[in-house]
């Protein structure tokens, strides 16, 4: 029962008995299930927490969509909170809704589910290690999320409500308490919550980098790692370099708000007829610091999903990944270029317009590695033997939807076009396609795929496909027409746009989109029931229900402490499917060397 | 059954390019498209938008159709024998790296001039008006009879911006409190107003008419109602309007029509 950092060879030796101990049930329970240092338990803790916040973030989005579709109408359920306004949502409440929807989704869902849930669960298993390099640090990285949950959660109930200056939190709206009701306690709690998320992420990223570099099984060279691990590894590096800038910016904003500093406030700022403060600062400074992190953050929010999708596609197409090295270089290219494009969020900000040229060029170029990856996914499918499991359907839809999200980015990279579409629904369409239709679909693919390894049972395929089909239809109904809305110039973050002549005719389309959004969130109940029911009553899965190649499928389902019941030794890359001359249609990474396979592999490179 | 399900899923993915293109094709018929543009630089922006739309549209159709085709054709229930054992193709990698790179680089260079025209090549002229954004209104300040902005005889009003047609207009954009953004959809103009900064915005309107001013940067609870109107009119009409509005500002007694209007409210 040790939390294993020793080699798994020392487990199960018949000659030693464990020392006798007095039973301590509460302490045992706490250290096994609550403050566990086992990466698998920590991964599942992240998974359950983030899925719960996913629901909360989705409900916030539905409230946003309600207001956009039927402004000032009586809100169902929530309307009781607004009894004084006849059930109407107040405009400041609306600004809180979209702020917290984005903040929750980005910081409490997508980033932790990719790195915290899947990174944690999969990294040691896929590289052949018995746990992470720093198990205690790992446990802390989960528990640092709880103060963040508390801060964000509590902020809804403080005076002035939760933060409402946008998830981007631009000064001076966010720094000056007189500028908005929530720019008091709500904004402070937001900043504190963000700091805790940052600490959690940093602890995680240090752990992942060290583990992947130092704890790979014998034979597992870097270029035999599955793309999931490459995605997690490069994401961890991104986190380590980008996050400190956000943390510093967060402290500067806290200081502006609490200690009277003026990092972001100019002189002579008058808000609500009140002189704001000492000044001497620049609002644009926040934008640069914030986006220096938040642009790499968007790659943090997709690279792990791209890696997992790559792996899932090969399993269910029964084919090697097309262009493994170009795929690895593309991930590295996206990450590297991701550090020099942040200004594209600031084309209209008032920064020196010459920067509109430099950032435009780098942003155009970052489309290239994403395009290369898309072509390689298509190449992986070509000539395959495709099995339409639920997981595969979600993975295929990732490719399909990422094409849309990626191509729409080119419009906003073009600075003259951005003059018109900046801060319109065109931008909203773009990031929902990459983050929801992309990453979230990738996450579902991963859940259906690795569920048997996590819980020892498979999820129901019929209901999985029903979940996929309904989600796919409704998400496109909700988000695709946002591109068209953006073409009209329909602005973001407006509680009511229809009193403008330019936008007055767009209410019926928005109502349609809201109905689709309601459908999309409602059909997640199918997933929730399938998920929990299958955990206890689903068909028992063996070690390798998908006949996949990577190391986690050699371990029991679910794996015990130490993961493997024999020392994994790796003889080949992860994508040896349909190898000629070999009877089985796949060769696992740990299968002993095979002359026919080696000859075939050499011939096909 | 297995082939039926393969057909079903393939057709679902086929719906993506079909409905995607259909949406863009049908939307203009419902007037859900780029709004009317009356500016001189607008056609360059709209032209670039359309060029990118065609380019990305072609890529979209080709890649999504390939995805559909591969899903349709390589359905396991349809494939006899094993999948094709191949790890990649150097030639393909080179081709599909060079072609997109060249296209993107071309696109980048092609648009630099338009950006420079709108945001870098300021006309040498005195400002027509100063626009100061404030929670939740657009404060306007025109130079008075002395033609100099910032003197005692300036004209002050809110939300009712007038500019002459067929002439360069230079706006000095400021903010009193928080970030706002000066967005004129029908003139393809957008510029954030930043407290502590004075930012020039210029354009030339080619047609008369009345159009929206929209705030395009979250500025608080009233962001949605920070609405202005821009009136583009002939130089003669503009001068007359300036005179009338200035006279009203300088009058020591309220005008009869204003008294009647107040009583009616």
Span B159-173, mean pLDDT? 97
Give the pLDDT score at A1.
Answer: 39
Give the pLDDT score at A599.
Answer: 75
**B58 lies in the same domain as B138:** no
**B143 lies in the same domain as B96:** no
> In angstroms, what separates the C-alpha of A503 from chain B's closest C-alpha?
9
pLDDT at residue A2 tops 70: no
Q: Which of A102, A385, A469 to mutate to test the interface with B (most CBs of B within 10 A)?
A: A385
**Residue A356 or B264, more confident:** A356
> In angstroms, what separates the C-alpha of B255 from chain A's closest C-alpha?
29
Q: Read off the pTM.
A: 0.94
**A552 burial via Cβ count (<10 Å: 0-12, 13-18, 19+):** buried
> In angstroms, what separates the C-alpha of A3 from chain B's closest C-alpha?
39
CB atoms B60 and A384 under 8 Å: no
Give the pLDDT score at A386.
Answer: 97
CB atoms A381 and B70 under 8 Å: yes
Q: Is B94 on the interface with A (CB under 8 A)?
A: no
| pLDDT category of residue B22 using cuts at 50, 70 and 90 | very high
Residue of chain A whose alpha carbon sits nearest to that of B117 = A416
**B72 lies in the same domain as B131:** no
Give percent above pLDDT 70 in chain B: 99
Residue of chain B whose alpha carbon sits nearest to that of A280 = B196
The residue range of the domain holding B31 is 2-77+91-119
In chain B, what residues touch A423 (CB-CB under 8 Å)? Answer: 181, 183, 190, 216-217
Q: Does some domain include residue B86?
A: no
Span B161-173, mean pLDDT? 97
pLDDT at residue A584 tops 90: no
Give percent above pLDDT 70 in chain A: 95
Q: Which of A20-24, A578-582, B212-216, B234-238 has the lowest mean pLDDT?
A: A20-24
Ramachandran angles phi, psi of B261, nearest 5°: -65, -45
User: What is the DSSP code string of A495-544?
Assistant: S--TTSGGGTT-HHHHHHHHHHHHHHHHTHHHHHHHHHHHHHHSPBP-S-
Chain-centroid distance of CA A153 in Å reads 20
Q: What is the pLDDT of residues B84-142, one digit of tens each?
A: 999 999 999 999 999 999 999 999 999 999 999 999 999 999 999 999 999 999 999 99
Could you tell me the CATH number of the domain that includes residue B145? 2.60.40.420
Give the pLDDT score at A182.
Answer: 73
Q: Is B39 on the interface with A (CB under 8 A)?
A: no
Work out the mean pLDDT of chain B and round it to a whole number: 95
**B71 lies in the same domain as B133:** no
Residue (of A476, A456, A463) closest to A528 by Cα position: A463
ipTM > 0.85, yes or no: yes
Q: Is B23 on the interface with A (CB under 8 A)?
A: yes
**Residue A352 or A581, more confident:** A352
Spatial separation of the C-alpha atoms in residues B93 and B202, rounded to whole Å: 45
Whether the Cβ atoms of residue A489 and residue A502 lie closer than 8 Å to each other: yes
**B135 lies in the same domain as B246:** yes
Q: Does some domain include residue B70?
A: yes
Give the pLDDT score at A232.
Answer: 98
Give the pLDDT score at A277.
Answer: 66
pLDDT at residue A9 tops 70: no
Q: Is B119 on the interface with A (CB under 8 A)?
A: yes
Spatial separation of the C-alpha atoms in residues B171 and B192, rounded to whole Å: 13
Give the pLDDT score at B153.
Answer: 87
pLDDT at residue A268 tops 80: no
**B133 lies in the same domain as B247:** yes
DSSP assignment, residue A79? Answer: G
Q: Is B27 on the interface with A (CB under 8 A)?
A: yes
> In angstroms, what separates the C-alpha of B242 from chain A's closest C-alpha?
25
Facing B74 at nearest CB: one of A164, A383, A416: A383
Span A325-336, mean pLDDT? 97
> In angstroms, what separates the C-alpha of B256 from chain A's closest C-alpha?
30
Give the pLDDT score at A243.
Answer: 96
Give percent above pLDDT 90 in chain B: 88
- The domain limits of chain A are 40-124+136-214+227-299, 302-512
**B228 lies in the same domain as B166:** yes
Give the pLDDT score at A7.
Answer: 42
Q: Does some domain include residue B260?
A: no
Span A126-130, mean pLDDT? 97
**B170 lies in the same domain as B65:** no
Facing B120 at nearest CB: one of A349, A353, A497: A353
| pLDDT category of residue A17 using cuts at 50, 70 and 90 | low
Q: Does some domain include residue B264?
A: no
Report how many domains make up chain B.
Answer: 2
Give the pLDDT score at A26.
Answer: 81
Q: What is the CATH number of domain A302-512?
A: 1.20.210.10
Please indicate whether the domains covering A40-124+136-214+227-299 and A302-512 agree at the CATH topology level: yes
CATH superfamily entry for domain A40-124+136-214+227-299: Cytochrome c oxidase-like, subunit I domain (1.20.210.10)
Residue of chain A whose alpha carbon sits nearest to that of B210 = A501
Give percent above pLDDT 90 in chain A: 82
Spatial separation of the C-alpha atoms in residues B240 and B242, rounded to whole Å: 5
In chain B, what residues touch A325 (CB-CB under 8 Å)? Answer: 88
**β partners of residue B131:** B140, B173
Q: What is the pLDDT of residues A448-490, one digit of tens each?
A: 999 999 999 999 999 999 999 999 999 999 999 999 999 999 9
Q: What is the pLDDT of residues A153-164, one digit of tens each?
A: 999 999 889 999
Give the pLDDT score at A83.
Answer: 63
> In angstroms, what separates the C-alpha of B232 from chain A's closest C-alpha?
16
Q: Does some domain include residue B42?
A: yes
Give the pLDDT score at A229.
Answer: 98
User: Radius of gyration over alpha carbons of chain A, in Å?
Assistant: 25
Q: Does some domain include residue B82?
A: no
């Amino acid at each position: 029962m040790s939390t294993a950092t020793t080699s798994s060879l020392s487990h199960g030796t018949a000659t030693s008995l464990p020392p006798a101990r007095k039973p301590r049930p509460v302490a045992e329970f706490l250290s096994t299930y609550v403050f566990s240092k086992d990466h698998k338990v920590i991964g599942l803790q992240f998974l359950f927490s983030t899925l719960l916040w996913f629901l909360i973030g989705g409900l916030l989005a539905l409230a946003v969509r309600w207001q956009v579709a039927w402004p000032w109408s009586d809100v169902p359920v929530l309307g009781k909170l607004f009894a004084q306004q006849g059930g109407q949502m107040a405009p400041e409440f609306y600004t809180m809704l979209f702020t917290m929807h984005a903040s929750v989704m980005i910081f409490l869902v997508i980033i932790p589910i990719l790195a915290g849930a899947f990174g944690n669960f999969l990294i040691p298993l896929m590289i052949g290690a018995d746990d992470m390099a720093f198990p205690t640090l790992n446990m802390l990285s989960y528990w640092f999320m709880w103060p963040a949950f508390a801060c964000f959660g509590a902020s809804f109930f403080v005076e002035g409500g939760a933060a409402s200056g946008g998830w981007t939190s631009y000064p001076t709206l966010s720094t000056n308490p007189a500028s908005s009701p929530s720019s008091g306690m709500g904004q402070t709690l937001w900043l504190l919550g963000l700091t805790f998320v940052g600490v959690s992420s940093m602890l995680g990223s240090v752990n992942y980098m060290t583990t992947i570099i130092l704890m790979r099984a014998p034979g597992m060279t870097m270029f035999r790692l599955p793309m999931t691990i490459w995605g997690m590894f490069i994401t961890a590096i991104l986190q380590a370099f980008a996050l400190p800038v956000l943390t510093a910016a967060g402290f500067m904003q806290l200081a502006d708000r609490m200690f009277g500093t003026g990092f972001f406030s100019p002189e002579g700022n008058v808000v609500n007829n009140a002189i704001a403060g000492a000044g001497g600062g620049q609002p644009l400074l926040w934008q640069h610091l914030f986006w220096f992190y938040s642009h790499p953050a968007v790659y943090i929010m997709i690279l792990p999903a791209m890696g997992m999708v790559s792996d899932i596609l090969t399993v269910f197409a029964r084919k090697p990944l097309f262009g493994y090295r170009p795929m690895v270089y593309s991930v590295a290219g996206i990450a590297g270029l991701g550090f020099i494009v942040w200004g594209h969020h600031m084309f209209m900000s008032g920064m020196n317009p010459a920067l509109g040229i430099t950032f435009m060029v780098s942003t155009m170029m970052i489309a290239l590695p994403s395009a290369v990856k898309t072509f390689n996914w298509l190449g992986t499918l070509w000539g395959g033997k495709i099995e339409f499991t639920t997981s595969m359907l979600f993975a295929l839809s990732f490719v399909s939807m990422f094409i849309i999200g990626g191509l729409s980015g080119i419009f906003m990279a073009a600075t003259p076009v951005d003059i018109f579409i900046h801060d319109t629904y065109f931008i909203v369409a773009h990031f929902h396609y990459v983050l929801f239709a992309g990453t979230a679909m990738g996450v579902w693919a991963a859940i259906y795929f690795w569920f048997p390894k996590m819980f020892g049972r498979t999820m129901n395929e019929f209901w999985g496909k029903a979940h996929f089909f309904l989600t796919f239809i409704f998400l496109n109904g909700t988000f695709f027409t946002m591109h068209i809305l953006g073409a009209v110039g329909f602005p973001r973050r407006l509680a009511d746009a229809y009193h403008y002549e330019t936008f007055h005719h767009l209410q019926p389309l928005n109502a349609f989109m809201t109905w689709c959004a309601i459908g999309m969130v409602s059909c997640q109940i199918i997933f929730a029931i399938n998920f929990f029911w299958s955990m206890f009553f689903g068909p028992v899965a063996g070690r390798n229900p998908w006949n996949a190649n990577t190391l986690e499928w050699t371990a029991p389902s679910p794996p015990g402490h130490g993961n493997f019941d024999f020392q994994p030794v790796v003889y080949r890359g992860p994508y040896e499917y349909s190898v000629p001359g070999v009877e089985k249609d796949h060769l696992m990474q740990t299968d002993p060397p095979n002359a026919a396979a080696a000859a075939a592999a050499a011939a096909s490179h | 059954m297995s082939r039926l399900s393969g057909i079903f899923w393939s057709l679902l993915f086929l719906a993506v390019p079909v409905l995607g293109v259909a949406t863009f094709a049908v939307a203009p018929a419902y007037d859900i498209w780029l709004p009317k543009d009356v500016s001189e630089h607008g056609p360059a922006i709209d032209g670039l938008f359309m060029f990118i739309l065609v380019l990305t549209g072609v890529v979209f159709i080709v890649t999504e159709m390939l995805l559909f085709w591969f899903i349709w054709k390589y359905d396991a229930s349809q494939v006899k024998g094993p999948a094709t054992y191949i790890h990649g193709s150097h030639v393909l990698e080179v081709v599909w790296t060079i072609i997109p790179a060249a296209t993107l680089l071309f696109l980048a260079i092609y648009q630099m001039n338009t950006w420079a025209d709108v945001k870098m090549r300021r006309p040498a002229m005195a400002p027509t008006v100063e626009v100061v954004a404030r929670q939740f209104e657009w404060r306007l300040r025109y130079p008075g009879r002395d033609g100099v902005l910032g003197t005692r005889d300036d004209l002050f009003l809110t939300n009712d911006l007038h500019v002459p047609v067929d002439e360069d207009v230079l706006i000095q954009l400021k903010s009193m409190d928080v970030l706002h953004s000066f967005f004129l959809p029908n003139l393809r103009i957008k510029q954030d107003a930043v407290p502590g900064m004075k930012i020039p915005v210029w354009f030339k309107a080619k047609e008369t008419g009345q159009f929206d001013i929209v705030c395009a940067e979250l500025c608080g609870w009233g962001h949605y109602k920070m609405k202005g109107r821009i009136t583009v009119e002939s130089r003669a009409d503009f001068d007359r309007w300036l005179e009338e509005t200035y006279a009203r500002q300088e009058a020591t007694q309220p005008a009869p029509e204003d008294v009647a209007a107040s009583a009616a409210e």
